[in-house]
Structure 1
Amino acid sequence: MKNFINLHKIPLLIFLSCCAFYLAFAYDLERTDFFKFLTLWGGLFFLSWKFFQMQRYNWKILLTAAIIFRLLFLIAAPNLSQDFFRFIWDGRLLLEGINPYLMTPAEYFSSGDLPFSGAQELYEGMGSLSAGNPTNYPPLNQLFFALASLLGGNSILGSIIWLRIFIIAADIGIFYFGRKLLRNLKLPENNIFLYLLNPLIIIELTGNLHFEGVMLFFLLAALYLLQCQKWLFSALFFSCSIAVKLIPLIFLPLLIRKLGWKKALGYYAATGIILLLIFLPFLSGVFAENFFSSINLWFQKFEFNASIYYLIRWIGYEVEGYNIIGYAGPALAGVVFVSILLMAILERNHKMRGLLTSIMFSMVIYLLLATTVHPWYLATPLLLSVFTRYKFMQVWSLMVVLSYFAYSQPDFEENLWFITVEYVVVFGVMFYEIFGHKNVKFPADLAD
């Protein structure tokens, strides 16, 4: 043990420093304290990168550290998001045999008929925005909420712990399939830790209980099985990914080149049938109206940390004199759809490395044109980037901290100068990687 410590003094010191920073983040940070937030965030990115560099050839140490960093959050209440109150609310409704898509929490309270014990605390915790809108979490996500509520009993903290365990388990699954896929692509297997050790992933997914990690586990498993030519099992996992978060739906057109038209149609049919079976217990006219109206809010009402949309909004104010989000949001969504269809015909999608690159850029386009870009949305392109030669997502995951300034303001008002700095850096690094040097072919570009 003494020899081990002597040989690893600096990595051990960095590891312990990361632990101290994560503990401070989990248990001693008010989100209104932006300076402390910024300091911890920047420190964690620097220390995590140094730790990865020093131990990059020892996956056991890196995996152990990644798990320990996550376990440090185990009994902490999320301090950057109130969403977990709604997760538990939906889960408890399911345990009561109530369809969570039919009524908003506010409607239960206005009727005076509380659906379960402890509803008052969850209602007050989730805030008026969540309480006043229908749930937009797909059925498989709801199942995780129900399991956490069942295993956690009537304890909010108990439910939080189980939600966190599910997310940590998903990250371990991402490690398993990620290494296999990297190995098949003849890329360094430990590149998966560029995702697993990224502070954004640890803080926002494990810490604040966002389920992008669970969605990504199913997506990565589907892509690995696709490479192994196990089409039906791949479609099953792809369906599960969509049933956690809807975002993988936009990736489906990109599979045409990889599968060919006939297999692609079969793949889509299998995915559709499986999704129908997952949604079937909840289907009704009210479900469709509430679920899709909730999704529509993201394109026509909500604004946060946007880039291109904010420029369009400014032009709208100058020309029309009012906020044109009601028109611009759906129009930008249409541009995203057309862009993905154009990317679907690219020859490079025939190879897995090219397909992964296309999926990453389709998500990047979606985020750059979105009206709302919460930091945890970056998890998807960040994971996909480890299978490509592009590193600008690492930079974006660092720079997105500037958007958290809004949490320090009473009305969550954004500082547009900070948002400008964030995106100037991101666009600068991205354009340099794409256009700033010759597009050299890597051996993995040819790997299937």
Structure 2
Amino acid sequence: MQLSSGVLKLNKLLVILILSNLLIYYLFAYHLVRTDYLLLLCLYFSLFTLFYRSIISFKNNTEALTYIAFSFRAIFILAIPNLSQDFYRFIWDGRMILEGFNPYLYTPESFVSQGKFPIAEAQELFNGMGVLNASHFTNYPPLNQLCFAIAALFTNKSLLGSVVLMRLLVIVADFGTLHFGKKLLKKLKLPMHAIFWYVLNPFIIIEFTGNLHFEGVMIFFLVWSLYLMHMGKWPWAAIVLAFSISVKLIPLIFLPLFFQWFASSSLSNCTSTTPVNVSTNYGRDSSLLLRMTRLISFYAIVISVVLLLFTPFYSSEFINNYTETIALWFNNFEFNGSLYYIAREIGYCFRGYNEIAIIGKTIPYLILLFVLLLTFFRKNKTTQQLITAMLLVLSFYYFTATTVHPWYISTLLILSVFTHYKYPLVWSFIIILSYLAYLNTNKADKSENLWIIALEYLIVYGVFIWEIFIKNFQKRKSKSILKLD
């Protein structure tokens, strides 16, 4: 009787959690206006509370969590994204490709300003994406463009139809991340339910399924590549990693970190955590030569596949337009920064204006230096060490970046699943505050509310410092005491 009562109680809790989530997600998808900040916070915090309770209560029932995660995504199928305008540009680029235009060579503004409408619903798409987006060349890599083109191929004259098709692609990618994420967790001997801190996370569901950000597709290829790498199938891992880069460029930052993984992996088993021990100098030299050959081959495959995928769009104009557009993220755009905003305020004391033009040029060199430090001076010999290094590198990049949109944090979140760090999970909860960045008591003030941003990063940095420095120091201290005993 007690067992039956316990099962009934769990099933009742599951039903309550599912129905509550479905109702809140429905309100979020179809009745939320972005500027209704109070409702936005209430709905999001409610979803996060229910999400946390679901993981804790049903972590041993991953099948139930899987069904729950994708039933929540189904709620958004017919919804137009309400927190982001980017999907209008996605649809524009896809339809441009279908009409035979190279999307990297033209801005939407260059057509509409001349009264030209090269695609269906051009004016509506132009109005939807906004002047800032429409005045710049596209920055989305080729496999991302392929997703846009697929949507255009089947729904060339329906905005909602394009949204639905792109949304299905994103959901399929989440299925893939779940599949390979669970397999990698199993190989790493980590709890299987940990993948649901990503898959079931309201932040992920809202930003990917809801707002149609294709970081989800990039993450699918990244996790797949890491799994293949762990299994020793590095040539295939290189190809899949190139696919990830060809959706979003951000995985490029991880390439140097593979150096130690190749230099230290056993030649007979690439998942080994110990270097090959060969007794003769000749053996060591040949082993090292083979490993370096594999490392160079890995990089060659990644770069070759990426270049091959860009080839259909190649032209001298493309290179100029694309590099200029990427540079905007360092030299022009400012949103939700942290260390950059502090550096900017210090710079204002000396120069008083246009600090981004100076600091923005410095940031890439700081990031490169940090990546190289972790590449050569930190142990990245096992898969988990490699993923942890990736997490730290990307964290440093976002901590110093001039622009940190909410959906950027998703890559940190998925990497943290395979580590013992939880600060990206906390950030995925508190990142909703960035949508309140332009909330000011003075309606005429269109600048970011730095108090809100300060609150966001105070929490994030607090957890980060606790986990990276204080907690790790305490662990090392405890180990030292045990050794003395």
TM-score under structure 1 normalisation? Answer: 0.95
Q: How does 1:245-284 map to 2 (within 5 A)?
A: 245-260=248-263, 261-284=292-315
Secondary structure of 1:97's counterpart equals coil
In 2, the alpha carbon distance for the partners of 1:440 and 1:240 equals: 43
Contact 2:336–2:437 under 8 Å retained in 1: no
Seen in structure 2, the aligned counterparts of structure 1 residues 102 and 441 have a Cα distance that, compared at 3 Å, is farther
Aligned to 2:26: 23
Secondary structure of 1:373's counterpart equals coil
Q: How does 1:96-107 map to 2 (within 5 A)?
A: 96-107=99-110
Contact 2:437–2:452 under 8 Å retained in 1: no
Aligned to 2:455: 421
Seen in structure 2, the aligned counterparts of structure 1 residues 259 and 9 have a Cα distance that, compared at 3 Å, is same
Does 1:62 pair with 2:65? Answer: yes
Does 1:308 pair with 2:343? Answer: no
What whole-Å deviation, never above 9, does each CA across 1:374-395 have from its counterpart, x for those lacking one? 0100000100001001011111
Contact 1:392–1:430 under 8 Å retained in 2: yes
Seen in structure 2, the aligned counterparts of structure 1 residues 143 and 441 have a Cα distance that, compared at 3 Å, is farther
In 1, the alpha carbon distance for the partners of 2:44 and 2:146 equals: 32
What is the Cα deviation at residue 5 of structure 1?
5.6
In 1, the alpha carbon distance for the partners of 2:240 and 2:448 equals: 38
Q: For residue 455 of structure 2, what is the amino acid of its counterpart? A: V
What is the Cα deviation at residue 329 of structure 1?
1.2
In 1, the alpha carbon distance for the partners of 2:356 and 2:170 equals: 34
What is the Cα deviation at residue 131 of structure 1?
0.5
In 2, the alpha carbon distance for the partners of 1:12 and 1:290 equals: 52
Does 1:11 pair with 2:21? Answer: no
Q: How does 1:67-86 map to 2 (within 5 A)?
A: 67-86=70-89
Question: After alignment, is 73-82 or 430-439 more displaced?
Answer: 430-439
Aligned to 1:331: 362
Q: How does 1:13-412 map to 2 (within 5 A)?
A: 13-260=16-263, 261-406=292-437
Aligned to 2:282: none
Contact 2:336–2:405 under 8 Å retained in 1: yes
Secondary structure of 2:380's counterpart equals helix
Contact 1:32–1:407 under 8 Å retained in 2: no
In 2, the alpha carbon distance for the partners of 1:353 and 1:157 equals: 41
In 2, the alpha carbon distance for the partners of 1:360 and 1:282 equals: 32
What is the Cα deviation at residue 406 of structure 1?
3.0
What whole-Å deviation, never above 9, does each CA across 1:185-222 have from its counterpart, x for those lacking one? 10001100000111111111110000000000011111
Higher relative contact order (CA 8 A, sep 6+): 1
Secondary structure of 1:349's counterpart equals coil
- Stretches of structure 1 that go unaligned for 5 or more consecutive residues are 443-448
In 1, the alpha carbon distance for the partners of 2:91 and 2:460 equals: 35
Secondary structure of 1:117's counterpart equals coil
In 1, the alpha carbon distance for the partners of 2:119 and 2:48 equals: 42
- Stretches of structure 2 that go unaligned for 5 or more consecutive residues are 264-291, 480-485
Aligned to 2:285: none
In 2, the alpha carbon distance for the partners of 1:203 and 1:114 equals: 32
What is the Cα deviation at residue 12 of structure 1?
1.7
Contact 2:105–2:317 under 8 Å retained in 1: yes
In 2, the alpha carbon distance for the partners of 1:412 and 1:40 equals: 25
In 1, the alpha carbon distance for the partners of 2:413 and 2:322 equals: 28
Contact 2:437–2:453 under 8 Å retained in 1: no
What whole-Å deviation, never above 9, does each CA across 1:283-325 have from its counterpart, x for those lacking one? 1011011111111111011111100000001011111111310
In 2, the alpha carbon distance for the partners of 1:441 and 1:293 equals: 51
Contact 1:403–1:414 under 8 Å retained in 2: no
Aligned to 1:436: 470
Contact 2:109–2:134 under 8 Å retained in 1: yes
Q: Which has the larger radius of gyration?
A: 2
Q: For residue 149 of structure 1, what is the amino acid of its counterpart? A: A
TM-score under structure 2 normalisation? Answer: 0.88
Contact 2:332–2:356 under 8 Å retained in 1: yes
Seen in structure 2, the aligned counterparts of structure 1 residues 407 and 68 have a Cα distance that, compared at 3 Å, is farther
Q: For residue 71 of structure 1, what is the amino acid of its counterpart? A: A
What whole-Å deviation, never above 9, does each CA across 1:102-127 have from its counterpart, x for those lacking one? 11000112333321232111111110
Aligned-pair identity (%): 47
In 2, the alpha carbon distance for the partners of 1:352 and 1:441 equals: 25
What whole-Å deviation, never above 9, does each CA across 1:213-260 have from its counterpart, x for those lacking one? 000001111111111111211111011000000000000000111112
In 1, the alpha carbon distance for the partners of 2:478 and 2:363 equals: 33
In 1, the alpha carbon distance for the partners of 2:104 and 2:14 equals: 49
In 2, the alpha carbon distance for the partners of 1:391 and 1:133 equals: 36
In 2, the alpha carbon distance for the partners of 1:121 and 1:178 equals: 39
What whole-Å deviation, never above 9, does each CA across 1:316-353 have from its counterpart, x for those lacking one? 11111113101101201210111011111245211001
What is the Cα deviation at residue 81 of structure 1?
0.5
Contact 2:438–2:449 under 8 Å retained in 1: no
In 2, the alpha carbon distance for the partners of 1:203 and 1:302 equals: 24
Seen in structure 2, the aligned counterparts of structure 1 residues 440 and 17 have a Cα distance that, compared at 3 Å, is farther
Contact 1:31–1:408 under 8 Å retained in 2: no
In 1, the alpha carbon distance for the partners of 2:218 and 2:478 equals: 31
Seen in structure 2, the aligned counterparts of structure 1 residues 346 and 19 have a Cα distance that, compared at 3 Å, is farther
Q: For residue 414 of structure 1, what is the amino acid of its counterpart? A: E
